[in-house]
């Protein structure tokens, strides 16, 4: 019976296994091989060893600049996303009439089409007729050129991305609603203030949600593409040339598929390294409440 159950199990999951091998594992392994070749999609790949990786780190200043832009974006956006997401979750974790409507409203932007909301923000950032600069003129402030100014373009994209803070908010909200009320009652009996309850009860019990949002945010930001591609196409003066956007250019505009595959593997290793570091250090700051507590 165990053998029969095993055979039936693998038969049931075979569609997923076949799809995983053909459409995920196969292309992943193929991309590693192509990263060791020079391939333009039109001729046969020519094996060149590690030359693509050497070129990436030593002979391509735009690759290093694109990685720097992506790193700055990640270091600024991820903390802001965590702070605003947690703040909204605390505000929406109230037992009030109609609170579900507000939760839905704040969450909706995170599920809208990327191109649609980028186009809307492009109109808002328009230096002459955009909503933001128009409102600034009412208080006597001359707004910047936003997406057209190298000094402001990346900041504008960060502001644009924070519109989807509902993604992290909903995770924090779920974590808040999982905290037992008796812990807050015990803290009140001990004389804890609102801030005391937040630092001693809420925040420690939210660390699993914080860990998830932190890792997911890092993975998401390192793969940023749509915002920059639609809004600025990497400009002005390459100030928003994200790593994945540069990878896209090398692959589909310059037809340097081998070089783009090497870039993809470097990105994979960077994201994997960041994730492993966070996981290995999470035992020192992530608190898991045991079952029955």
Does residue 174 fall inside a structural domain?
yes
Give the integer Cα–Cα distance in Å for 202 and 90.
10
Give the integer Cα–Cα distance in Å for 288 and 179.
11
The answer on 228 and 176 residing in a single domain is yes
The answer on 129 and 81 residing in a single domain is yes
Does residue 291 fall inside a structural domain?
no
The answer on 242 and 147 residing in a single domain is yes
The answer on 6 and 72 residing in a single domain is no
3-state secondary structure the chain: CHHHHHHHHHHHHHHHHHHHHHHHHHHHHHHHHHCCEECCCCCCCEECCCHHHHHHHHCCHHHHHHHHHHHHHHHHHHHHHHHHHHHHHHHHCCCCCCHHHHHHHHHHHHHCCHHHHHHHHHHHCCCCCCHHHHHHHHCCCCCCCHHHCCCCHHHHHHHHHHHHCHHHHHHHHHHHHCCCHHHHHHHHHCCCCHHHHHHHHHHHHCHHHHHHHHHHHHHHHHCCCHHHHHHCCCCCCCCCCCHHHHHHHHHHHCCCHHHHHHHHHHHHHHHHHHHHHHHHHHCCCCCCCCCCC
Q: Among 67, 72, 89, 73, which residue's Cα sits nearest to residue 213? A: 89
Does residue 257 fall inside a structural domain?
yes
The answer on 153 and 11 residing in a single domain is no
The answer on 122 and 22 residing in a single domain is no
- pLDDT tens figures, 82-118: 999 999 999 999 888 888 899 999 998 888 877 888 9
The answer on 273 and 181 residing in a single domain is yes
The answer on 109 and 191 residing in a single domain is yes
The answer on 115 and 9 residing in a single domain is no
Domain that holds residue 251: 60-282
Residue 8's pLDDT band (cuts 50, 70, 90): very high
Residue 291's pLDDT band (cuts 50, 70, 90): very low
The answer on 262 and 139 residing in a single domain is yes
Domain count for the chain, please give it. Answer: 2
Does residue 166 fall inside a structural domain?
yes
**Cβ-proximal residues to 228 (8 Å cutoff; 6+ apart), any chain:** 157, 234, 240, 241, 242, 245
- pLDDT tens figures, 53-84: 999 999 999 999 999 999 999 999 999 999 99
- pLDDT tens figures, 212-260: 999 999 999 999 999 999 999 999 999 999 999 999 999 999 999 999 9
Residue 191's pLDDT band (cuts 50, 70, 90): confident
List the CATH number of the domain containing 209: 1.10.3720.10
Does residue 103 fall inside a structural domain?
yes
Does residue 43 fall inside a structural domain?
no
Supply the pLDDT for residue 293.
Answer: 52
The answer on 157 and 20 residing in a single domain is no
Does residue 293 fall inside a structural domain?
no
The answer on 81 and 146 residing in a single domain is yes
Output the pTM of the full model: 0.91
The mean predicted confidence, pLDDT, of the chain is 92
Does residue 11 fall inside a structural domain?
yes
């Amino acid at each position: 019976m165990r053998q029969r159950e095993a055979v039936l199990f693998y038969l049931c999951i075979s569609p997923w296994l076949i799809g995983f091998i053909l459409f995920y594992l196969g292309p992943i392994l193929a991309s590693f091989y192509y990263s060791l070749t020079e391939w333009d999609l039109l001729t046969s790949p020519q094996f060149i060893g590690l030359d693509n990786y050497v070129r990436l780190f030593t002979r391509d200043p735009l690759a290093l600049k694109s990685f720097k832009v992506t790193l700055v974006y990640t270091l600024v956006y991820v903390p802001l996303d965590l702070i605003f997401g947690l703040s909204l979750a605390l505000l929406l974790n109230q037992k009030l009439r109609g609170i579900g409507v507000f939760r839905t409203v704040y969450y909706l932007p995170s599920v809208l089409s990327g191109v649609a909301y980028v186009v809307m923000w492009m109109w808002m950032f328009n230096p002459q007729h955009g909503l933001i600069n128009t409102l600034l003129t009412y208080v006597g402030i001359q707004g910047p050129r936003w997406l057209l100014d190298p000094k402001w373009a990346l900041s504008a994209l960060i502001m644009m991305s924070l519109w989807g803070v509902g993604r992290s908010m909903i995770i924090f909200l779920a974590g808040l609603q999982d905290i037992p009320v008796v812990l807050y009652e015990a803290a009140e009996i001990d004389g804890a203030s609102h801030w005391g309850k937040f630092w001693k009860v809420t925040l420690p019990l939210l660390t699993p949600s914080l860990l998830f949002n932190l890792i997911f945010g890092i993975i998401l930001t390192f793969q940023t593409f749509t915002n920059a591609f639609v809004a600025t196409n990497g400009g002005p003066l390459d100030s928003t040339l994200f790593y994945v956007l540069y990878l896209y250019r090398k692959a589909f505009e310059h037809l340097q598929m081998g070089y783009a595959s090497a870039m993809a593997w470097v990105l994979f290793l960077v994201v994997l390294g960041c994730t492993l570091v966070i996981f290995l250090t999470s035992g020192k700051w992530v608190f898991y409440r045991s079952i029955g507590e």
